[in-house]
Structure 1
Amino acid sequence: MSSRERRRAETRHTIQRHAIRLFVDRGYDATTVNDVATAAGVSAMTVYRHFATKEDLVLYDEFDQQAAATITEQPADEPLVVRIARTLAATYDQAIADREFHLARLRLMISTPALQARHLDSQYATQEALVGAICAGSQDPALEFQARAAVSACLGVVHVALLRWAAEDGEPELRELFGEAFTATFGHGF
């Protein structure tokens, strides 16, 4: 990553952290983009340069790219659902390194009507990224169908685990909840 890209990522991270804090403290609807800009020490134009919409201040992450890269590292001889489950668990392990920040983001996504539909759009984008990575270089419609079904099922399982994780204030560990949810759904963990 170049120094310019690094500064851009740091600015985006700073803006998003201030946005999440303000949304939690004041409420999503009561907080304006100008409030976020002031808290982050940047202009509103800078906020919009990094986040096209107010919703993106909560929803933005690099999960899709990380998941797509991680699935290609999984052993191809393992069942597809196991590869997807391991990918999602590994990607979430990286994504939730800052537990409190990600719990706050998740709670906002769950509880804020303006974010709920966009959160589903985000899940669809994750599905497309994973299906694309699984099917890269293939024109096999059967593989695409299998990948789409498996990814959709796994994302549903992960969503249920995330809801419980948020409801229980980040306890137990998210990976443990993933294991329980995958075992309940598929009869085995990952």
Structure 2
Amino acid sequence: MSNGTGGLRERKKQQTRRAVSEAAISLFLERGFDNVPVSDVAAAADVSTMTVFNHFPTKEDLVLHRFEDHFDDAVAIVLARDPGESALGALRRHFLAGLDRRDVVTGLNDDEHVLAFHRMVLAAPSLRLRVLEQATRTVDALAAALAEQTGTGPRDMTARTAATQLCCVQNELVRENVRRLAAGETADAVHPDAVAAAQQAFAQLEHGLGTYCT
């Protein structure tokens, strides 16, 4: 097989994956995640049901694959932190900057499509469960990175508890922002409270973690 043929096949594969994803999200937003069978997604994308599952092993993956690029954000931020900066300090700095940018990952983005997406996830129990499972993956990855940075073993309890606290604080801040925006408040109106809440939450963590992983 020539490189050209392989490249064309990969491009077609990605085009199909994108078409299936877009069809799925459109239907889910219109009718609700639990009200759309995968067969309807396949029909909308003009592919077979088997093709859908070849690209997305579960129905939930049709939605949550959009979060995949952000699973390792915390690890990347910690690894790229400034010299002498603690892991907590780096994550706090990045989160506060994200609030100012109205970054989607902070929950402080009131674009109507983004809000509709959040409402869809919140309304589907299986999606909420998968979000929690993925949050655990993030904790595991961050714990491993912290353990490596501090020279401890992969099951070091200090690294695991630190990772759990850092991830849980960020998740709760995001959830509160999403909750308020989904209830009808604007990002600009919520921003001052979101900044204050983030500063307070990270300050509370700092009492316990201090300069851990500096």
Moved more, 67-76 or 51-60: 67-76
Q: Is the 8 A contact 1:80 1:147 kept in 2?
A: no
Quick one: distance in 1 between partners of 2:10 and 2:72? 16
Relative to structure 1, the CA distance from residue 30 to residue 147 in structure 2 (aligned partners, 3 Å threshold; closer, same or farther) is closer
Moved more, 114-123 or 95-104: 95-104
Give the letter aligned to residue 121 of structure 1. E
Q: Is the 8 A contact 1:103 1:170 kept in 2?
A: no
Give the letter aligned to residue 84 of structure 1. L
| Structure 1 unaligned blocks of 5 or more | none
- Looking at both structures, which has the greater relative contact order when contacts are Cα pairs under 8 Å and sequence separation is at least 6? 2
- Normalising by structure 2, report the TM-score: 0.68
Say what the alpha-carbon RMSD is for the aligned residues. 3.5
Quick one: distance in 2 between partners of 1:174 and 1:130? 29
- SS state of the match for residue 136, structure 1? helix
Q: Is the 8 A contact 1:135 1:147 kept in 2?
A: no
Q: What's the counterpart of residue 29 of structure 2?
A: 24
Relative to structure 1, the CA distance from residue 76 to residue 44 in structure 2 (aligned partners, 3 Å threshold; closer, same or farther) is farther
Rg bigger for which structure?
2
Q: Is the 8 A contact 1:59 1:122 kept in 2?
A: no
Give the letter aligned to residue 113 of structure 1. P
Q: What's the counterpart of residue 81 of structure 2?
A: 74
| Structure 2 unaligned blocks of 5 or more | 1-6, 205-214
Q: Number of residues paired by the alignment? A: 187
- SS state of the match for residue 29, structure 1? helix
Q: Is the 8 A contact 2:169 2:202 kept in 1?
A: no
Q: How does 1:20-169 map to 2 (within 5 A)?
A: 20-60=25-65, 61=67, 62-87=69-94, 93=103, 99-136=111-148, 138-139=151-152, 141=156, 142-168=158-184
Q: CA deviation at 1:105?
A: 2.5
Identity, % of aligned pairs?
Answer: 31
Moved more, 3-12 or 76-85: 3-12
Relative to structure 1, the CA distance from residue 39 to residue 110 in structure 2 (aligned partners, 3 Å threshold; closer, same or farther) is same
